[in-house]
């Protein structure tokens, strides 16, 4: 097992200055101290704003080629430091090194930097009919705030900052107070290639996030986190009429149609729900299965899930980890307890071991559960999947659409055309067919309903980091 000797160089580089306030960050798998994060406040935010204002005009003037080259170099720097970054991420966030977890997340950072650097956004001629002529350009916004969550802290930071920088903006990052070290270390590495002042982390609490959302010098906030915080940011940003991209909470439904093959879909269903131990915005959080194959799907999923190892992230054998923090552990535990009390049937898990170090909640599958049970109706954000039986596809669609959020959804069927017909009826920003949660740097991603607004990734994502300007004439 690796020890605290890991990550020393990057941790030293991001540690608070002597005498400055710091906060111990604990490993959610073991309770050991991972490192000490600086505690920044409003003074550091103002310093970051001043540095960003000074650096941004030259960056905007440098043009797309120079900015793309810097992002490509930043991707190389991430790869050069990949293992160290992944180990730190694993220890701070809890996700294992192996599987679709820490190494995968660091790899995605490099991939998204490269894809964002390579994506062109040419001015668009919107009318040219001999009488009218107009072009649509996207100009830099200026200063962009990036406020992120604790579940995929590095990858989501890159999703926010890569398009912002690419479009000629400076960025101030406010990481989650649960995972600041990962973001500080990542930005330290990125800043080997990004000119000084353009990219600064202010490692503070929610008051720093609120000040960022209120700040008159900041033109846009990219926010990924809960729907409740998204609503607070809309309010805080109202007086400055800030642009916002809001990637908020989800409660994604998956619908298994009667023609699906339970054995063939079990693996995809499992990882759709349990990637990052369920702590993923667009994870499968409610599974609706037709009565004709309900028992077969429950059996296939239980067989697959019971063989997937969970444990300390630095152990290469594990591909599922702990919940990242105590509050999240309690949310999951309380929801499963309430489901049990309601008479739902636990197929797997539901029995965390008391007195263990770390916030491990076992992989849990719950069958024969009512659609209005809180484990179904609320976002559990952890390794506990409710499986609901349905009789008609209309009923399944109505249940899937019966929540206030709409990030992702999925349809599982042997027939893609049928699956697409059902997909068209679902109120979600993305509907996957025979998979759930896959993201791609060129495929736009964003929520419907109270899962937020704005798109990320690809050319559409770049547009959201610019101010549209029409040149008319």
- Interface contacts to ligand NAD, rule CB under 6 A: 147-151, 156, 174, 176-177, 205-206, 209-210, 213, 224-226, 229, 232-233, 236, 247-250, 281, 379, 381, 407, 447, 451-452
Whether 281 is catalytic: yes
- Among the listed residues 142, 140, 222, 108, the one whose alpha carbon sits nearest the alpha carbon of residue 174: 222
Smallest separation (angstroms) from ligand NAD to the CB of 189: 20
CA distance 383 to 14: 32
Of 56 and 179, which has the nearer Cβ to ligand NAD? 179
Q: Is there a contact between 243 and 220 (Cβ–Cβ < 8 Å)?
A: yes
Of 191 and 226, which has the nearer Cβ to ligand NAD? 226
Name the active-site residue from 281, 427, 456, 460: 281
Of 225 and 313, which has the nearer Cβ to ligand NAD? 225
Smallest separation (angstroms) from ligand NAD to the CB of 437: 11
CA distance 428 to 450: 10
Of 89 and 147, which has the nearer Cβ to ligand NAD? 147
Sign of the C-alpha dihedral computed for residues 69, 72, 78 and 80 taken in this order: negative
Of 215 and 389, which has the nearer Cβ to ligand NAD? 215
> Any alpha helices (H) in 306-442, and if so which ranges?
326-341, 374-377, 393-400, 416-423
Smallest separation (angstroms) from ligand NAD to the CB of 226: 3
Smallest separation (angstroms) from ligand NAD to the CB of 326: 13
Smallest separation (angstroms) from ligand NAD to the CB of 374: 15
Smallest separation (angstroms) from ligand NAD to the CB of 399: 20
Of 311 and 374, which has the nearer Cβ to ligand NAD? 374
Q: Where are the beta strands (DSSP E) in 149-230?
A: 170-174, 199-201, 220-224
CA distance 194 to 71: 8
Of 84 and 456, which has the nearer Cβ to ligand NAD? 456
Q: Classify the phi-psi angles of 30: left when phi > 0, otherwise alpha if psi is within -120 to 50, otherwise beta.
A: alpha
Smallest separation (angstroms) from ligand NAD to the CB of 456: 8
Smallest separation (angstroms) from ligand NAD to the CB of 256: 23
CB-based burial, 125-151: b 16+ in 10 Å, e otherwise:
eeeeeeeeeebeebebbbbbbbbbbbb
Of 271 and 381, which has the nearer Cβ to ligand NAD? 381
Whether 330 is catalytic: no
Rounded to the nearest 10 degrees, the angle between the axes of helix 180-190 and helix 42-80 is: 70
Q: Which two tokens stand for residue 461?
A: 């994502």
**Residue 326, Cβ density class (10 Å: 0-12 exposed, 13-18 middle, ≥19 buried):** exposed
- Among the listed residues 371, 376, 391, 435, the one whose alpha carbon sits nearest the alpha carbon of residue 289: 391
Residues whose CB is less than 8 angstroms from the CB of residue 181 and which lie 6 or more positions away in sequence, other chains included: 11, 14, 25, 34, 35, 37, 88, 92
CA distance 386 to 375: 7
The residue whose Cβ lies closest to ligand NAD is 209
Smallest separation (angstroms) from ligand NAD to the CB of 48: 15
- Strand, helix or coil at 70? helix
> Residue 153 is inside which H or E element, if any?
helix 153-166
DSSP 172: E
Of 148 and 358, which has the nearer Cβ to ligand NAD? 148
Name the active-site residue from 44, 79, 247, 427: 247
CA distance 85 to 34: 13
Catalytic residues: 247, 281
């Amino acid at each position: 097992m690796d020890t605290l000797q890991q990550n020393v160089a990057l941790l030293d580089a991001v540690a608070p200055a002597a005498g400055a306030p710091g906060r111990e960050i604990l490993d959610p798998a073991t309770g050991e101290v991972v490192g000490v994060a600086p505690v920044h406040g409003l003074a550091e935010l103002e310093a970051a704003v001043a540095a960003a204002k000074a650096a941004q005009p030259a960056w905007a003037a440098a043009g797309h080629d120079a900015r793309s080259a810097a992002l490509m170099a930043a991707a190389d720097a991430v790869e050069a430091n990949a293992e160290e970054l992944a180990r730190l991420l694993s220890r701070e966030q809890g996700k294992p090194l192996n599987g679709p977890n820490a190494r995968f997340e660091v790899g995605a950072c490099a991939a998204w930097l490269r894809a964002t650097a390579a994506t062109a956004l040419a001015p668009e001629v919107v009318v040219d009919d001999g009488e009218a002529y107009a072009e649509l350009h996207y100009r830099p916004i200026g200063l962009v705030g990036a406020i992120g969550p604790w579940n995929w802290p590095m990858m989501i930071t890159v999703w926010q900052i890569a398009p912002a920088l690419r479009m000629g903006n400076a960025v101030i990052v406010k990481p989650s107070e649960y995972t600041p070290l990962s973001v500080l270390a990542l930005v330290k590495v990125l800043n080997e290639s990004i000119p000084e002042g353009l990219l600064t982390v202010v490692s503070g609490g929610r008051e720093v996030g609120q000040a960022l959302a209120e700040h008159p010098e900041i033109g846009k906030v990219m926010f990924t986190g809960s729907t409740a915080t998204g609503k607070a940011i809309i309010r805080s940003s109202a007086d400055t009429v800030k642009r916002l991209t809001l990637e908020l909470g989800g409660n994604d439904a998956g619908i298994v149609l009667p023609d699906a093959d339970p054995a063939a879909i079990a693996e995809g269903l499992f990882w759709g729900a349990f990637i990052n131990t369920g702590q993923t915005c667009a994870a499968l959080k409610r599974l609706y299965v037709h009565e004709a194959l309900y028992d077969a799907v429950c059996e296939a999923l239980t067989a697959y899930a019971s063989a997937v190892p969970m444990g300390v992230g630095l152990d290469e054998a594990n591909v599922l980890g702990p919940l990242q923090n105590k509050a999240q552990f309690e949310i999951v535990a309380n929801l499963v307890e309430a489901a049990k009390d309601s008479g739902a049937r636990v197929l797997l898990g539901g029995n965390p071991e008391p007195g263990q170090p770390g916030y491990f909640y076992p992989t849990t599958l719950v069958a024969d559960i009512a659609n209005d049970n809180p484990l179904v109706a609320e976002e559990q954000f952890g390794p506990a999947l409710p499986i609901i039986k349905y009789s008609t596809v209309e009923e399944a669609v109505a249940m899937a659409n019966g929540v206030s959020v709409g990030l992702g959804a999925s349809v599982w069927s042997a027939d893609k055309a049928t699956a697409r017909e059902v997909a068209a009826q679902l109120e979600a920003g993305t509907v996957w067919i025979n998979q759930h949660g896959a993201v791609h740097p060129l495929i736009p991603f964003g929520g419907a309903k109270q899962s937020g607004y704005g798109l990320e990734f690809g050319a559409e994502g770049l547009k959201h980091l610019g101010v549209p300007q029409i040149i008319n004439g």
